[in-house]
């Protein structure tokens, strides 16, 4: 398995500001704009997984760790389940257990962190040196210090282009009888770095490539999706 840190990129930029002081003295104040990026191979979901952002993001992270896994390979290992229309309304499974719908279709929904952890670990089974972990509930600052700054990218759940989330379809859960509310605009992307004002992502949506989003906005959207996150660490 390839070592993740060989992909690391770090950028620095310094800007000098001259301030006049009484007696014709000058003080030089250096403001550092520090950008930290992990070089994770980029994959777009266009043309292969219209609603499978979670699975394309998974493929990117697997590629980073040296796993030979295409988007199609990831899709084929992902348990999927559809919704059924009944007289009581739509009935289906939880996205924490299955990908809801078809990831190749524009009418699919998606899946949550536990599904991605299970699928990713199915690729690590033969390696034994790495494992995917569910980091749901962690703040972004914690993800940065514990994972990004150690050159481990993180999958996070937010919204497409960080737009405001909206209420989507609802359905009755098969196993509990409770009602599940899908969040329209749900999106999964790979956190790969940061600078003073932004977090940077490998965003599979619309071939966005590596894209920055403002830190406060990311925190809001991440929170709206339940602070779901997945990363890879050394196996115990």
CATH code of the domain covering residue 95: 3.90.70.10
| Owning domain of residue 216 | 41-234
Q: How confident is the model at residue 9 (pLDDT cuts 50, 70, 90)?
A: low
Q: Which of 179, 176, 193, 204 is nearest to 45 (CA)?
A: 204
Task: Report how many domains make up the chain.
Answer: 1
Three-state secondary structure call for residue 10: strand
Pairing of strands 89-92, 229-234: unpaired
Mean per-residue pLDDT of the chain: 90
**Are the beta carbons of 213 and 193 closer than 8 angstroms?**
no
Domain presence at residue 7: no
Domain presence at residue 216: yes
Domain presence at residue 16: no
Q: How far apart are CA 81 and CA 100, in angstroms?
A: 5
Q: How confident is the model at residue 24 (pLDDT cuts 50, 70, 90)?
A: very low
- Over residues 26-41, the mean pLDDT reads 74
Q: pLDDT tens across 64-120, in order? A: 999 999 999 999 999 999 999 999 999 999 999 999 999 999 999 999 999 999 999
- Phi first, then psi: what are they for 32, rounded to 5°? -100, 125
pTM (two decimals): 0.89
Domain presence at residue 33: no
**Are the beta carbons of 43 and 63 closer than 8 angstroms?**
yes
**Are the beta carbons of 170 and 90 closer than 8 angstroms?**
yes
N-to-C CA span, the chain? 16
- Phi first, then psi: what are they for 229, rounded to 5°? -150, 150
Domain presence at residue 35: no
- Over residues 189-201, the mean pLDDT reads 98
Domain presence at residue 174: yes
Q: Which of 154, 167, 186, 188 is nearest to 53 (CA)?
A: 188
Q: How confident is the model at residue 26 (pLDDT cuts 50, 70, 90)?
A: very low
Domain presence at residue 26: no
Which runs of E-coded beta strand occur in the chain?
8-21, 25-38, 80-81, 84-86, 89-92, 99-100, 130-134, 154-159, 166-173, 179-184, 186-194, 198-203, 209-214, 229-234
Q: How far apart are CA 138 and CA 219, in angstroms?
A: 11
pLDDT at 8: 56
């Amino acid at each position: 398995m390839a070592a993740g840190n060989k992909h690391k990129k770090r950028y620095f930029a310094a800007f000098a500001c001259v301030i006049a002081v009484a007696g014709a003295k000058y003080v030089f104040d250096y403001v550092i704009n520090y950008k930290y990026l992990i070089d994770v191979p980029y994959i777009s979901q266009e043309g292969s997984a219209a609603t499978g952002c979670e699975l394309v993001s998974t493929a990117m992270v697997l590629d980073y760790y040296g796993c030979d896994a295409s988007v199609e390979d990831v899709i084929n290992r992902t348990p999927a389940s559809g919704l059924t229309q009944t007289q009581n309304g739509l009935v289906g499974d939880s996205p924490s257990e299955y990908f809801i719908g078809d990831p190749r279709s524009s009418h699919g929904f998606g899946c949550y962190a536990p599904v991605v952890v299970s699928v990713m670990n199915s690729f690590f089974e033969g390696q034994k040196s790495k494992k995917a972990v569910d980091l749901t509930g962690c703040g972004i600052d914690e993800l940065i210090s514990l994972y990004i700054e150690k050159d481990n990218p993180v999958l996070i759940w937010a919204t497409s282009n960080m737009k405001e989330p909206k209420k989507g379809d609802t359905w009755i859960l098969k196993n509990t009888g409770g009602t599940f509310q899908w969040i329209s605009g749900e999106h999964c992307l790979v956190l790969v770095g940061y600078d003073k004002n932004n977090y940077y992502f490998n965003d599979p949506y619309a071939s966005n490539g590596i894209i920055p989003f403002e830190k406060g906005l990311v925190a809001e959207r991440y929170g709206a999706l339940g602070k779901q996150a997945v990363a890879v660490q050394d196996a115990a």
